[in-house]
Amino acid sequence: MIDHPDILALVKLALDEDIGSGDATTLACIAADRMAVGRYYARQEAVLAGVGLLELIYELRGGVRHLHLPVMDGEQVSDGQLVGEVRGKARTLLECERVSLNFLQRLSGIATLARRYTDAVEGTGCTVLDTRKTTPGLRRLEKMAAAAGGVRNHRMGLYDAVLIKNNHITAAGGVRAALERLSQSPLRVEIEVRTYAELEEALHCGAKHLLLDNLTPAQAAEWIRFIDGRATAELSGNITLDSVRAYAETGADYVSSGAITHSAISADFNFRIELAP
């Protein structure tokens, strides 16, 4: 995924945004031929994500002789652990420092929270999904980070799956009308049901994937018993790390949480350089 054109364009944009016409401080202070070694360290326990972007960042800027990445995405790192080492021109290392850390910290924060969600539902048979509640422009990377933490990607955008939500149902004229229009769709079709009547109607119309939104765990368990395996059930709506286990234990096939991407706190990493021959 790192070599996807969207990611390449995003990394270029991030570098241009930060460096602009040139790193004024570095250009003034550091000789063009000065060589250095830079090392990335974790400053907390975290699940690593985005480390592959370091290779892309330095490839785009040039001036690097060697990059060593001893830890890969999805691996747990501890406070003080080395996660990457780069050797090259000091100017290159300094001008790439902030961009590389921004990606590493943001994506590892998402992966770390995602792992906490998947650990919370362990043994229930329920799968945690992410959502489209991502930072504009960063979706592909943020979903990559969620997957590194063990979460399954739900859909990348509006184009690769059908999810009929409450506003679609209203605009289409009801559950039946919405489903009938999609009877020949080649895409996976999922429909949100808001009431027991809509649940019954959706099942009667042959819906195979249901989204049950904003229910309590007790309500969700009741609805899932009624579904009785006739369709898969996904639960969503304010599902937090504290409540995800209770929802997973209702018998749901999936639980989805936007918090994994929209509320993750960046992990803490730092970058230190020293002169090299």
Q: Which residues are catalytic?
A: 98, 133, 165, 192, 213
All residues at 6 or more sequence positions from 186 whose CB lies less than 8 Å from its CB, including other chains: none
* Distance in angstroms (rounded) separating the CA atoms of residues 174 and 7: 39
Strands 162-164 and 189-193 turn out to be parallel
Nearest by Cα to 169 from 160, 182, 156: 182
62 dihedral zone (left: phi>0; alpha: psi -120 to 50; beta): left
Stretch (H or E) spanning 9: helix 5-19
Q: Is 175 helix (H, G, I), strand (E, B) or coil?
A: helix
Q: Is 215 helix (H, G, I), strand (E, B) or coil?
A: coil
Q: Which amino acid is at 139?
A: R
CA distances from 76 to 71, 81, 183 (A): 9, 10, 44
Strands 209-213 and 232-236 turn out to be parallel
All residues at 6 or more sequence positions from 239 whose CB lies less than 8 Å from its CB, including other chains: 247, 255, 256, 257, 259
